A = this chain, B = another copy of it.
Amino acid sequence: MPRDGTETRTLIMDAAQELILQHGFAGTSVDAILERVSLTKGAFFHHFRSKGELAQALIERFAAADEAVLRSALERSERLTRDPVQRLLLFVSLLEEQAAALIEPYPGCLFASFCHEAQLFDEDVHGVIRAGFEHWQAEVSARVRAAMAHRPPRLEVSPDDVAAMLTAVVEGAFILSRSLNDAALLARQLRHYRNYLELLFGDP
């Protein structure tokens, strides 16, 4: 095996993410991360110039994975049906399906985690988070708009806000599921979000 640091770097990031989701960023020491992966400070600071740079690397990776989930669900929903309203509902159902699978490892959203310690991070980090949220909102909003164009909703609503509600429900569900120790809570909440859309676009 050619001495490849990428593996070690990934190892560190995986351990870091898991710990951060449980203890928060400030509550997760570099030592604690390294103990998990049996490495030393030397290795850590070879890969990351500072703990802040680790944070940067982590949200960037998380944002990429998050976007992949969004894109996959969007693309599948568009392949499976042509009706804009059905597409939207199916999209949420696909997310719900994924959420039902989330039990182990302990779930959590790095975006939310970092937001709750906002002052610890620089503008770069917050930029990535904001971009992540805005990307979901923009993509979902476009599908809501398409559905509205296809069938007028029962109530007058802003597509942007309807889209934002998806993110809000997901983030809120994460918190509740952890506190109430109820892993299925997220999926059930997504079902209610789908209910809302169904009622909004349903026959009068």
CA–CA, A172 to B172, complex, Å?
4
Those of A153-169 within 8 Å (CB) of chain B:
154-155, 157-158, 161-162, 164-165, 167-169
Question: Complex Cα distance A119/B23, Å?
Answer: 5
- A204 and B204 CA atoms in complex are apart in Å by 6
What are the residues of chain B within 8 A of A198 when measuring CB–CB?
Answer: 155
The reply on A200 being an interface residue by CB < 8 A is yes
A residues within 8 Å of B by Cβ? Answer: 22-27, 108, 111-113, 115-120, 126, 129-130, 133-134, 154-155, 157-158, 161-162, 164-165, 167-173, 175-176, 178-180, 185, 188-189, 191-192, 195-196, 198-200, 202, 204
| Other A-B pairs, 6, CB within 8 Å; known A165-B192, A172-B173 | A115-B175, A115-B179, A116-B117, A168-B189, A169-B172, A171-B172
